[in-house]
Structure 1
Amino acid sequence: MESSGSLENVDSRVPELNINEEERSDEIKKEEELSVEQIFAKKEVPSWKKQLTIRAFVVSFVLSVMFSFIVMKLNLTVGIIPSLNVSAGLLGFFFVKTWTKLLERSGLLKQPFTRQENTVIQTCVVAASGIAFSGGFGSYLFAMSERVVKQSEKTQDGLEYKNPELGWIIGFLFVVSFLGLFSLVPLRKIMIVDFKLTYPSGTATAHLINSFHTPEGAKLAKKQVRELGKFLSFSFLWSFFQWFFTATDDCGFQKFPTFGLKAFEYKFYFDFSATYVGVGMICPHIVNVSVLIGGILSWGIMLPLIETRKGHWYTDLDPDSMQGLKGYTVFIAIALILGDGLYSFAKVLTQTMADLHKKIRNRKAMPLPVSEHSSPVTKTLSYDDQCRTQLFLKDQIPTWLAIGGYIAIASVSTATLPHIFHQLKWYHIIVIYTFAPVLAFCNAFGCGLTDWSLASTYGKLAIFTIGAWAGASHGGVLAGLAACGVMMNIVSTASDLMQDFKTGYMTLASPRSMFVSQGIGTAMGCVISPCVFWIFYKAFPDLGMQSSEYPAPFASIYYNMAKLGVEGFSALPKECLKLCYAFFAAAILINIIRDALGKKRSWFIPLPMAMAIPFFLGSYFAIDMCIGSLILYIWQKRNKAGADAFAPAVASGLICGDGIWALPSSILALAGIKPPICMKFLSRSLNSKVDGYLGS
């Protein structure tokens, strides 16, 4: 799951490595000096068909189910999703290596496990679990549901919504998720070979997989898997133990008033979540601190001040009403998101266009251009680059297949989507599909330069443009949300594929095997993710409610964003517009200051996108994440080599164990089995009243 250097967007995935770009590039240079391909020179590279093995896809399916539960749980809780590339590559290596060792001992092994097959597994798993994010189960898709719509509206009559159903969700994902695979395939050589785009996440994943298949790397991988398994077991058992104390709402360790009952009232407490501690260990320190600063600013300062204006600014005391306190938190969060997103969009687009112009100019000036079918061997290419370029250009994906596939799927999608969303007209879809390849290229190119994917920003652009075009009287809110899903899936999948092509390029995996594994993984995700979401949806009747264990915060934010785009500022509570202007400008100003100071001096400037998250949810998960960040910081101070080697595995274990518990807890909820104990905390005065009542 590719990501930005900090946050792809507030509802996005964060990088899997806790190192900055300079450190990462230095490590890549050192690796290149060692000539990776000379180490693997004696190992035969299997054909693209042999890279696609049955065992690879069996392992991919199992891991895809596990990671889909993890991503879905994070989607429906805080919306911060760490990259699981390391976990996918590591567990894929472990499972297949164990499989092949057993077969080797029994004399039945026909094909050894290669780094190319490992790349296929990682690609397939990330593609499948990525649908749990781009499918909008915690954002635009669930934002259409009755639960979310009724929370955001004053009147409950004549509301337009579309409740989730397994059939139409799977159909929707199948007709929109594959377009991104075909949109940029003809440009793969230009992006990877000619322009030599870095794609830091794809490059880092490739180095990880390459290292696994060396003797030293295999030993380290075994130790990493052991640590991952140890903390996965601990996290799972800890979640199981906590379940016994959650008989009703507001019970259990998750409601522990760590800093006192008054702080708990304003959502400042440690909720003993292994998942958030693990996420904090993977996220860069600035992300965790930014989230905490956002929590202090919102629930510690701003909301108590707004409460003093009760009766003047607002009169609705319903905690779920958008005309009460919740309206201020949601719309100010939207202002921060839009301000940061607009700045990031302008910055990355400007950088993309400038760098694209430079690379095209340099390419024209090259005395020996690289042809489509040549095997370039020039003085400027290292031995590794020669091997990689030769194999990358060997197995071509026909251009006619890419263009024909895009047109065919777009035609089917244009005919199908208006039947799923009658508010979204065929001409809306044609306009989206006309501009989508250009936007997908801009996003993939920018991601190759900066590791910053703006898929959700392009989705928000579709919300406002299509929603306003459709109009309030013709279901503009739902049309905008549906258009967001169409655009976001295309742009996100195209960027994913280019990352995978870069990983495949550096592991000598065939572009054809990458394309096929991405396609199979996408197909898996189109079925697995809706089924996983359906389990959550049926198991937890309060899913999407702010007081729920799974509040799905971005569903409400996306709905109100679409409503704002269609109805204008009339959707805002009193005086909220002025606050939104201030926070929108502040987000842009903070980003300008960060860029002006540079990477080395901007480490103490918070990220506006990360600050926006606790406005809606509170600071409890920020405290968990900061504890994870503190653990990593102390570990790095005491043993930096050990922390760099094992911290991602430990964090992944904490996240995976708690995420896996979501499946048995959902089954228990569906079966009507409730925990036996309620552990609740009361003030001394209230406890005295309860004792007196029980005594009487």
Structure 2
Amino acid sequence: MNLMMRLRGLRSTNDNSPNSEFTFTAVFLGLLIGCLLCFTNLYFGLQTGFISMMSLQSSLIGFLISRMLPTPLTAQEVIVVQTTAVATGTMPLAAGFVGIIPALGLMNEKQDGSPPIHLSWIAGIGWSCAVAFFGVFMSPPIRKQVIIEEQLAFPSGTATAQLISVLHDLPPPETTLRQRRGYQRLDTEEAAEPLSSTTNEETAPLQPPIREDSAKAAGWRELLWSFLVSAILTLIAYFFPVVFAIPLFGNYLARNWAWSFTPSLSYVGQGIIMGLPTTLSMNMGMVVGWAVLSPIAKFSGWAPGPVGDMTTGSRGWILWVSLAIMCADSVVSLTPVVSEFFMDVVWRKIRASNRRADVGTKQDHEVETEDRLVPTKWVVIGWSISVIIGTLLVWIVFGHEGIKPWATFIGFVLGGLLSILAVRALGETDINPVSGLGKISQLFFAWIQPGNIVANIIAGGVAEAGAQQAGDLMQDLKTGHLCKASPRAQFYGQLIGSSVSIFVTTTAYSLYTRAYPIPGPSFPAPTAYVWLSLARLLRDGQLPKKASVFMIAFAASFGVIAALKTYAVRRQIWWAKWIPSGVAFAIGFLNTPSFSLARLIGGVLEYIFRKRYAKDESDIRLIVVASGFVLGEGVTSVVSLLLRTFGVGVASCWGCGHGLCGGCSS
């Protein structure tokens, strides 16, 4: 009987083994959802540099699908679905396919000392294998510290746990948080306003407990109609490209200054998920970058080329200001995390020296039994093997001239240390500063392997991979902890999801590079230019004319703004979310106005819905619609990719005289 219950995905009250949660159905659904997210995130990442973790959406979709099965999944199995899906879906960023891989393809032998590097499919598999697992093996020991001992908030993971508990009619999870600053108690019910924070990789608000009626009402109907509408619009835009390149302010501004509008429902959905404060920050950056700095650089002769040119045009010029803002924001935001980390280390040593007589009596707050935890031996052996094999694979893929094996090994070790900082920042603020940590790694490698742009980019990618994986998976582990899911079952899901995503992501990227020029009109890959530009700056020290003045001014301004925002967020002050986000502001520079405007529409819709139509602030109906919008375009992008691969082109280029229609101009 117990065997049948396991096969059907049931978890009895007497069976708490990981096998009762780690079922074939849960893993299969997680991989299915994760593969869709993988294509979706690669599509949007190459377009705008933004991907979404989609943990809450993965758990909701998994729950809805399981309602159609003869035996619905338990709450713990849904968490395995979510964990597997996230591990599968976020590989495009973790393995650098939206940033460092396109950046390597942009190199110029005359300028960079190395010809462009375009990875074959098998080389992409090797690179992905090199970075796919060491962040996963770091998760169990970090979980012990930040979730069990320090009980950090991890707002996205907490919100997902609340949703899962309501959907399965479980008692609400204990969401009382012990903050490191003073260890004061903070109940989410007492927050005057939910906080919304963002990075270029993930956005999720800190939500109060979700009401049962609103959660149960958000079901298949809303998800399906929003999915279909977005999919149909995306397909129409493929055959009639002007649909996604509307010259909102006329052909002159569209053609000469890149001011067009993309009425993509997926970007509207992303804006809904981000919230109004974040989309406002992004559009403030868009206005400053494209309506103020771009004309100044153009008319002053500092960027004389076409506006959209990343080398001689104002788009490449304002990129440097964007980079300065992101670096300043990351450094200031990480400073308190770093200082508290070392303070904690010192404090623990002091306490240990004062209590030598009490050695062996340290209280363990772990609530799981040994058979449900990941053994330490697995972690040590797995991490060591992943680093050794990863170092070897990087050497095989890029050669001795690309990056030396000892440098790669140091990159893995540095990535591990930076991952701890990323997880702590994420746990306290819901911001995973992976872009900033990658730049820190680039700075370090400019010192230990100077003049080697390839090594600089690869080392930054290794550090970013570890921080991205450890942070995203820690949100899932927080959800599992609150809903009493097995950490070992989640660990299995993470390993399987990462393994499958190696092949899915590499194959998807290979298909995109065969069908489209990357970077190109359809997929500009803006973060690739950030990686390459910083590597060039660290080697040559040359900046475009007058760029340094504006970089210093904006870096100083956003250093102050980031300090104020960090102060307000860490003290849970309600107006913290209205302070501009430096990273979101900088993304407004990186992306052309077409992408930011649609997200602002989503942010405004979210604000109006929450203020006028939502039953309360836990009403997730609009989030369900937003998820359908995002998935609709993401899934249909696979259809568009296949059409492009088999030579099926656009039906009409009418209205594309401004030259911004990807299908007509490429």
Aligned to 1:149: 107
Amino acid at match of 1:128: T
Aligned to 2:392: 415
The question of 1:508 aligning with 2:466 is answered no
Aligned to 2:120: 165
Is residue 293–residue 318 contact of structure 2 (8 Å, CA) maintained in 1?
A: no
CA distance in 2, matches of 1:594, 1:60: 36
Aligned CA RMSD, in angstroms, stands at 3.1
CA distance in 2, matches of 1:44, 1:218: 30
The question of 1:273 aligning with 2:271 is answered no
The question of 1:526 aligning with 2:502 is answered yes
Amino acid at match of 2:103: A
Aligned to 1:119: 79
CA distance in 2, matches of 1:318, 1:95: 47
Q: Equivalent residues in 2 for 1:463-612 (5 A)? A: 463-472=442-451, 476-540=452-516, 542-545=517-520, 548-568=521-541, 570=542, 572-595=543-566, 599-612=573-586
The counterpart of 2:431, out of the listed 430, 452, 469, is 452
CA distance in 1, matches of 2:351, 2:431: 24
The question of 1:259 aligning with 2:232 is answered no
CA distance in 1, matches of 2:583, 2:227: 30
Identify which range, 171-180 or 364-373, moves more after superposition: 364-373
The alpha-carbon deviation at position 128 of structure 1 amounts to: 0.7
Q: Equivalent residues in 2 for 1:650-689 (5 A)? A: 650-680=625-655
Deviation per CA, 1:401-423: give whole Å up to 9, x if none.
21122222222222332121222
CA distance in 2, matches of 1:371, 1:529: 47
The alpha-carbon deviation at position 218 of structure 1 amounts to: 9.1
Aligned to 1:300: 291
The alpha-carbon deviation at position 322 of structure 1 amounts to: 1.8
CA distance in 2, matches of 1:78, 1:317: 20
The counterpart of 2:274, out of the listed 270, 283, 298, is 283
CA distance in 1, matches of 2:488, 2:360: 20
CA distance in 1, matches of 2:277, 2:360: 42
Aligned to 1:76: 46
Is residue 218–residue 624 contact of structure 2 (8 Å, CA) maintained in 1?
A: no
Amino acid at match of 2:293: M
The question of 1:193 aligning with 2:148 is answered yes
Is residue 90–residue 221 contact of structure 1 (8 Å, CA) maintained in 2?
A: no
CA distance in 1, matches of 2:356, 2:156: 28
In structure 1, the residue corresponding to 2:100 is in which secondary structure? coil
The question of 1:617 aligning with 2:604 is answered no
The alpha-carbon deviation at position 159 of structure 1 amounts to: 4.3
Amino acid at match of 2:332: Y
Amino acid at match of 1:73: Y
The question of 1:132 aligning with 2:92 is answered yes
Is residue 11–residue 20 contact of structure 2 (8 Å, CA) maintained in 1?
A: no
In structure 2, the residue corresponding to 1:453 is in which secondary structure? coil
The alpha-carbon deviation at position 118 of structure 1 amounts to: 0.7
The counterpart of 2:315, out of the listed 319, 323, 326, is 326
CA distance in 1, matches of 2:21, 2:655: 54
Is residue 42–residue 509 contact of structure 2 (8 Å, CA) maintained in 1?
A: yes
Identify which range, 417-426 or 272-281, moves more after superposition: 417-426
Is residue 294–residue 315 contact of structure 2 (8 Å, CA) maintained in 1?
A: no
Amino acid at match of 1:594: K
The alpha-carbon deviation at position 489 of structure 1 amounts to: 1.5
CA distance in 1, matches of 2:493, 2:361: 26
The alpha-carbon deviation at position 90 of structure 1 amounts to: 0.9
Name which one, 1 or 2, has greater alpha-carbon Rg. 1
Amino acid at match of 1:454: P
Is residue 326–residue 436 contact of structure 2 (8 Å, CA) maintained in 1?
A: no
In structure 2, the residue corresponding to 1:413 is in which secondary structure? helix
In structure 2, the residue corresponding to 1:329 is in which secondary structure? helix
Aligned to 2:610: 636
Distance 1:395 1:321, change over 3 A: closer
The counterpart of 1:400, out of the listed 377, 384, 389, is 377
CA distance in 2, matches of 1:267, 1:320: 11
Amino acid at match of 1:116: Q
Aligned to 1:36: none
Q: TM-score, normalised by structure 2?
A: 0.83
The question of 1:67 aligning with 2:5 is answered no
Amino acid at match of 2:107: V
CA distance in 1, matches of 2:568, 2:25: 50
The percentage of counterpart residues that share the same residue type is: 25
Identify which range, 67-76 or 404-413, moves more after superposition: 404-413
Deviation per CA, 1:173-210: give whole Å up to 9, x if none.
11222112223533533333222222222222222222
Amino acid at match of 2:418: L
Amino acid at match of 1:267: A
CA distance in 2, matches of 1:513, 1:253: 45
The counterpart of 2:218, out of the listed 219, 223, 240, is 223
Distance 1:549 1:493, change over 3 A: same
In structure 2, the residue corresponding to 1:170 is in which secondary structure? helix
Is residue 468–residue 565 contact of structure 1 (8 Å, CA) maintained in 2?
A: no
The alpha-carbon deviation at position 272 of structure 1 amounts to: 1.1
CA distance in 2, matches of 1:518, 1:415: 23
Amino acid at match of 1:345: L
CA distance in 1, matches of 2:486, 2:634: 33
The counterpart of 2:403, out of the listed 397, 411, 424, is 424
Amino acid at match of 2:226: F
Distance 1:451 1:358, change over 3 A: farther
Amino acid at match of 2:579: I
Amino acid at match of 1:421: F
Distance 1:371 1:622, change over 3 A: farther
Is residue 373–residue 394 contact of structure 1 (8 Å, CA) maintained in 2?
A: no
Amino acid at match of 2:527: F
Is residue 280–residue 626 contact of structure 1 (8 Å, CA) maintained in 2?
A: yes
The question of 1:343 aligning with 2:298 is answered no
Is residue 298–residue 307 contact of structure 2 (8 Å, CA) maintained in 1?
A: no
Is residue 273–residue 623 contact of structure 2 (8 Å, CA) maintained in 1?
A: yes
- Structure 2 residues not aligned, in runs of 5+: 1-9, 171-210, 659-666
CA distance in 1, matches of 2:587, 2:299: 23
Q: TM-score, normalised by structure 1?
A: 0.80
Aligned to 1:692: none
- Structure 1 residues not aligned, in runs of 5+: 1-39, 102-111, 247-251, 377-388, 684-696
Is residue 51–residue 116 contact of structure 1 (8 Å, CA) maintained in 2?
A: yes
CA distance in 1, matches of 2:228, 2:358: 56
Aligned to 1:24: none
Distance 1:223 1:373, change over 3 A: same
Amino acid at match of 2:85: V
Is residue 309–residue 315 contact of structure 2 (8 Å, CA) maintained in 1?
A: yes
Deviation per CA, 1:221-250: give whole Å up to 9, x if none.
46333211110011101112222213xxxx
Amino acid at match of 2:75: R
Identify which range, 438-447 or 660-669, moves more after superposition: 438-447
Distance 1:187 1:327, change over 3 A: closer
The question of 1:213 aligning with 2:168 is answered yes
Amino acid at match of 2:439: K
CA distance in 2, matches of 1:445, 1:314: 40
The alpha-carbon deviation at position 306 of structure 1 amounts to: 2.0
Is residue 257–residue 308 contact of structure 2 (8 Å, CA) maintained in 1?
A: no
Is residue 128–residue 522 contact of structure 1 (8 Å, CA) maintained in 2?
A: yes
Is residue 268–residue 600 contact of structure 2 (8 Å, CA) maintained in 1?
A: yes
Distance 1:337 1:667, change over 3 A: same
CA distance in 2, matches of 1:219, 1:316: 53
